[in-house]
Amino acid sequence: MSTIRLRSPAAFWLALPAGLWMLLAVVLPVLLIVWVSLWGGTTVSPNNPITFDNYQRFLSNENYLWLIGDTLLQTAMIMTITGVMGYCIAYFLTVKVTSPGWRLALFLAFVIPFWTSTLIRAIAFVPFLGVNGLLNQALMGIGLIERPIQAFLYSRLGISMAQVSLYTLLASGPVVYMLNSIPPALREAAMTLKAPPIIVFWRIVLPLTLPGIIIGQVLVFLNVLADFITVTTVGGNKLAFLGNLILLFYEGSQIRMTAVVSVLLMLLMLAGVAIALRIVDIRKVGS
Amino acid sequence: MHWKTRSRLTSWLLGIVTIGFLLFQWAPMFTMFTLSFAGENGGTTFPMNGVSLHWYHKLWEADLFDDFKPPMLRSFLLALACSATTVVLSVCAAQAMRGRFRGNGLYFYLLLLGLMAPGILVGFGFAILTRLLGIEGAWNTTAYVVHVSWALPFGFLTMLAVFNRFDPRLEEAALTLGANRVTAFRRITWPIILPGIIGTALFGFSLSYDEYARTLFTAGSDGTLPLAVMATLDRQLTPELYAIGTVTTAMSLTVIALCVIGFWLRARALRGRPS
């Protein structure tokens, strides 16, 4: 017995508004993109025949294929870096820091920027990475470099640094959750049975946190693949990834081409999520 | 969790990675805060050429083209509306999930879809939809609908987690004692889930307030603050942008601080209550 009766009509009616909202604002628009990408003819109109011409035109351009490969490469790189760093930070915060006060303070320092604007955080990288920026000043101060490094800003290096800073939390959060749900007894049992720490980590901790790693990687994958803000602000429009291409076509009023790139982006994302679901069963994680 | 530390070396290494990352994460923001107080002749990078409130002053007295105040007001109102709507919809949806209605598994994935679908796709798709329907996009109509669809999955998951940890015997007790379902919800359920509701409201506000991609496609002619910031950045980077960045970040931090204080006061009040 609870304030809602099982399988009652009330439950259905309560669920309806949010469900309809998502159908109207997310599902229908995404389906429309697929439809628009198939519009043929010379003018943009729903009355034209359905064809795959737009895809053929897009995929026959070698530059665009390179751009897709480049985006995937960048995504893989950021996934690797944020995955390793995120795991280290999660492990340190949950396992190694034993004082509750310190843990809370470090955790807040880690999480708080997530609640501020991504756009502003990306813009903040411009004065940080610039020729007279803080990073160059600091490196020169330590004596590591003699002259400021120009390649930090408006380059792939700068974009990658900003993306690592923005997305490491996504890779780390699910791992923190999984680490917290491991019963300490498991580790103690292994220790009692004389397993060295590295074996305990490899055979017990790592497999139990694997779902967290995978979920974190999916989140980073989805975000980096569609990221265009970091590329425009820190990259200074010198580079383009798939997200920027969508925006370029849209600003050029090439609606059907925008739709084609959007559908390809969607397919890449679905493929990524499908691979992740083969490795872990996400529904089991919450229980 | 209190695991005995065996290896000091790994502790040190992991600690260095963590502290290094935290410094790296905060350093750009501090650079921006510092440079926003640059002198009148200060540029967008060091040296600052003095310390002043010049750029904040300029922000306040901005002319017609660079005026950040109307977009900021729009963003604020939109975020408030999005926050309120998200709270109502996610409480209803999570309460409905407890009723295990037919198709609730599919429904769960439907709501999660909003979390997975990137803003650039949702925004573009919604722009097509409004164009086909012949509706003119505006910040307080089309952008509002899309913003709620972005915050809703976060609120829904938060409320689901709250209801999962909820002790149903408390409701049962109220119902057994003769309260009807509405009264039991109002007097028992609502106060218990209130922290989750504050969290949901926070998500609803900050996700909408900071959203760029979804707004870009749906806001029409009168943009929100992130759009105004991006438009200014496209023209030229000035310390004025740092000032606006500092102001919005300060606002976000204030909202978070208020929520944390709220949680703390509530926890203290509950502890002081005789049992």
AA identity, residue B207: L
Are the C-beta atoms of B168 and A47 separated by less than 8 Å? Answer: no
Pick the residue of A4, A208, A241, A287 with the most B CBs within 10 A to test the interface with B by mutation: A4
- What ipTM describes this predicted complex? 0.86
B-chain CB neighbours of A116 within 8 Å are 29, 206, 210, 248-249, 252-253
Give, in order, the Cα–Cα distances in Å from B63 to each of A42, A241, B70, B175, B225. 44, 35, 12, 61, 16
Q: How far apart are CA B120 and CA A262, in angstroms?
A: 8
Q: Min CA distance, A32 vs chain B (Å)?
A: 6
Q: Which of residues 193-222 of B touch A (CB under 8 A)?
A: 202, 206, 209-210, 212-213, 217
pLDDT band, residue B2 (cuts 50/70/90): very low
User: Hunting for tokens 């910031």 — which residue is that?
Assistant: B229
Average pLDDT over residues B150-155: 93
Query: Would you give the distance in Å from CA B131 to the centre of its chain?
Result: 28
pLDDT of residue B1: 40
Are the C-beta atoms of B68 and B59 separated by less than 8 Å? Answer: yes
Query: Would you give the distance in Å from CA A278 to the centre of its chain?
Result: 19
Q: What is the largest CA-CA distance in chain A?
A: 74
Question: B102 and A168 in contact by Cβ < 8 A?
Answer: no
Contacts of B177 (CB under 8 A, 6+ apart): none
Report which DSSP code applies to A52. S
Which among A88-92, B60-64, B263-267 has the top mean pLDDT? Answer: A88-92
Nearest to A92 among B15, B29, B256 (CB): B15
Higher pLDDT, B8 or A163: A163
Q: Min CA distance, A204 vs chain B (Å)?
A: 14
A-chain CB neighbours of B122 within 8 Å are 25-26, 29-30
Question: B1 and A96 in contact by Cβ < 8 A?
Answer: no
pLDDT band, residue B192 (cuts 50/70/90): confident
DSSP of chain B: --PPP--HHHHHHHHHHHHHHHHHHHHHHHHHHHHTTB-TT--SSS---SB-SHHHHHHHT--SSS--HHHHHHHHHHHHHHHHHHHHHHHHHHHHHHTT-TTHHHHHHHHHHHHHS-HHHHHHHHHHHHHHHTPPP-TTTHHHHHHHHHHHHHHHHHHHHHHHT--HHHHHHHHHTT--HHHHIIIIIHHHHHHHHHHHHHHHHHHHHT--HHHHHH--SS--HHHHHHHHHHH---HHHHHHHHHHHHHHHHHHHHHHHHHHHHHHHHHHS--
- A88: tokens are 């280290």
Closest CA relative to residue A116, chosen from A46, A79, A169:
A169
Average pLDDT in chain B:
84
Higher pLDDT, A280 or B254: B254
Question: B92 and A17 in contact by Cβ < 8 A?
Answer: yes
Helical packing angle, B225-235 and B69-98, nearest 10°: 140
- B18: tokens are 């963590």
Pick the residue of B21, B209, B255 with the most A CBs within 10 A to test the interface with A by mutation: B21
Q: Min CA distance, B275 vs chain A (Å)?
A: 23
Average pLDDT over residues B120-142: 89
A50: helix, strand or coil: strand
In order of start, what are the domains of chain A with their CATH numbers?
Answer: 61-285 (1.10.3720.10)
Express each pLDDT in B234-248 by its tens digit. Answer: 887 778 888 888 888
Q: Which of residues 236-265 of B touch A (CB under 8 A)?
A: 237, 241-242, 245, 248-249, 252-253, 255-256
Question: B172 and A2 in contact by Cβ < 8 A?
Answer: yes
Nearest CA in chain B to A181: B1
Q: How far apart are CA A233 and CA A229, in angstroms?
A: 6
Question: A17 and B18 in contact by Cβ < 8 A?
Answer: no
AA identity, residue B187: R
Q: How far apart are CA B194 and CA B75, in angstroms?
A: 25
pLDDT of residue A287: 44
CATH class of the domain comprising B66-235 = mainly alpha
pLDDT of residue A266: 92
Residue B73 confidence (pLDDT) above 50: yes
Q: Min CA distance, B25 vs chain A (Å)?
A: 6
Which residues make beta-bridge pairs with A39? A50
User: Hunting for tokens 């969508």 — which residue is that?
Assistant: A246
Helical packing angle, A9-22 and B142-164, nearest 10°: 140
B-chain CB neighbours of A232 within 8 Å are 230
pLDDT band, residue B274 (cuts 50/70/90): low
User: Hunting for tokens 């159908």 — which residue is that?
Assistant: A23
Express each pLDDT in B201-211 by its tens digit. Answer: 988 998 999 89
Q: Min CA distance, B124 vs chain A (Å)?
A: 8
Q: pLDDT tens digits, chain A, 287 residues: what are they? A: 577 777 778 888 888 899 999 999 999 999 999 998 888 777 777 777 788 888 888 888 888 999 999 999 999 999 999 999 999 999 999 888 888 888 888 988 898 888 888 889 998 888 888 777 778 888 888 877 877 777 777 888 889 999 999 999 999 999 998 888 888 888 788 878 887 878 888 888 888 888 899 999 999 999 999 999 898 888 877 788 999 999 999 988 888 889 999 999 999 999 998 898 888 766 565 54
B-chain CB neighbours of A7 within 8 Å are 99-102
Give, in order, the Cα–Cα distances in Å from B92 to each of A56, A139, B152, B167, B175. 46, 53, 11, 18, 20
Question: A18 and B152 in contact by Cβ < 8 A?
Answer: yes
Residue B54 confidence (pLDDT) above 90: no
Nearest to A4 among B24, B95, B102 (CB): B95
Q: What is the pTM of this model?
A: 0.87
Helical packing angle, B239-272 and B8-35, nearest 10°: 120
Cβ atoms < 10 Å from Cβ of B142: 24
pLDDT of residue B220: 81
